[in-house]
Copies of this chain bind each other. A is one copy, B any other.
Amino acid sequence: MSTKGGALRLGTGGEFDRLRAIFASLGAAGRGLGDDCALVRIGARTLALSIDLSLEGVHFRTDWLSFREIGWRATAAALSDLAAEGAQPLGVLVSLAVPENRHPRPGNASPAVQIMSGVGAVARSVGAHVLGGDLTRSSRYLVDVCALGVARRPVRRSGARPGDGVWVTGRLGGAGLALAALLAGRRPPAPVRRRFVRPEPRIAAGAWLARHGARAMIDVSDGLAADAGHLAAASGVRIELALERTPCWPGVTPLAAARSGEEYELLVAFSPRFRERDARAFRRATGLPLTRIGRCLPGRGIRMTDDGRRITPPGGFDHFPGR
């Protein structure tokens, strides 16, 4: 099995093994695994496709998010996979399951309509269309988004080489900060909450990075440490991260930032020729910082230091622990 061509969103640990077994069972029909996007050649173009399932009680809670935010967030997660491919989104298809609306209020849009308005808003924000969907009754809310885009120069997880620098866009830890507040029953401050409920897929940033020679890229959905691990495994390199360099949200420690999932920033490997002045050009183009936080070496796995002291990499989130 190749790590090219296939697309599976992976947690860490046991889920990998399950998925390997699943794709091994597919034989010729399976095209491997390892990337968040599938790539399909259509004539002279390369399509990038990703599918991303959000379930009530697993990925979101209706007391934390408005219905519009549920639609935005689920769609942003799928679009973020396209961003990490350097792809330009064309559209999304959405499967929606909603419970019966037992207390419809006159003048209020139904939950399904509100969810779809969030889907449409984030799609529009990156120039994409809502192409189609499926709607079903269910006991719990469910939003499954398949995003479709075109990649001029697709960037996989697997292209990093020893000697490459490892960079990250934006600042990390905001989503984790919001999640901690919500879990504690507090309402997070507005900018922190926005980071959690309306994540912005880094489409323009991903396209810039692809255009400027990114060798490998992944979005930070499982947490910096876990996603760096995916990139290292796919590329066959070891990644050393200097945690103290991690750009953090105010009030977030680098270790907490490295553990925070669903940040939807981009982690990217560049040849050593990519320098700070290139990062400044990126910032001028996108408004986002781009920070060098580590490097690739021969070997495998992740090594993390914090102010020079070696620390154990935190794990990512796994829907299927211990299997």
Contacts and interface: CB of A to CB of B under 8 A. Distances in A.
Interface of A: 5-9, 15, 18-19, 21-23, 25-31, 33, 35, 37-38, 40, 42-45, 47, 49-53, 55, 58-59, 90-91, 93-97, 109-110, 112-113, 116-117, 119-121, 123-124, 128-138, 142, 144, 146, 148, 150, 319-320
Contact of A134 (B5, B9, B138): B9
A27 B123 CA distance: 12
Given A29-B130, A133-B7, A49 B93 contact: yes
A21 B133 contact: no
Nearest to A127: B29
Contact of A29 (B7, B38, B42, B128): B128
A43 B40 contact: no
A53 B134 contact: yes
B30 A120 contact: yes
Given A9-B134, A129-B29, A40 B148 contact: yes
Given A25-B109, A120-B25, A120-B27, A38 B132 contact: yes
A262 B49 CA distance: 27
A22 B131 contact: no
Nearest to A31: B129
A18 B121 CA distance: 19
A59 to B, nearest CB: 8
A137 B30 contact: no
Can you tell how many copies of this chain the complex includes? 2
Given A29-B123, A43-B45, A22 B138 contact: no
A201 to B, nearest CB: 14
Contacts of A117: 25-26
A53 B22 contact: no
Given A22-B135, A53-B96, A55-B142, 4 more contacts: A18-B110, A25-B117, A49-B131, A51-B134
Contacts of A9: 133-135
A130 B42 contact: no
16 contacts: A6-B132, A7-B132, A18-B110, A18-B113, A18-B135, A19-B133, A22-B135, A27-B120, A29-B120, A40-B91, A43-B44, A49-B132, A49-B146, A52-B134, A53-B142, A93-B146
Contacts of A22: 112-113, 116, 135
A113 B40 CA distance: 24
A185 to B, nearest CB: 24
A5 B130 CA distance: 10
Contacts of A33: 132
A90 B47 CA distance: 12
Contact of A132 (B27, B37, B44): B37
B8 A135 contact: yes
A42 B150 contact: yes
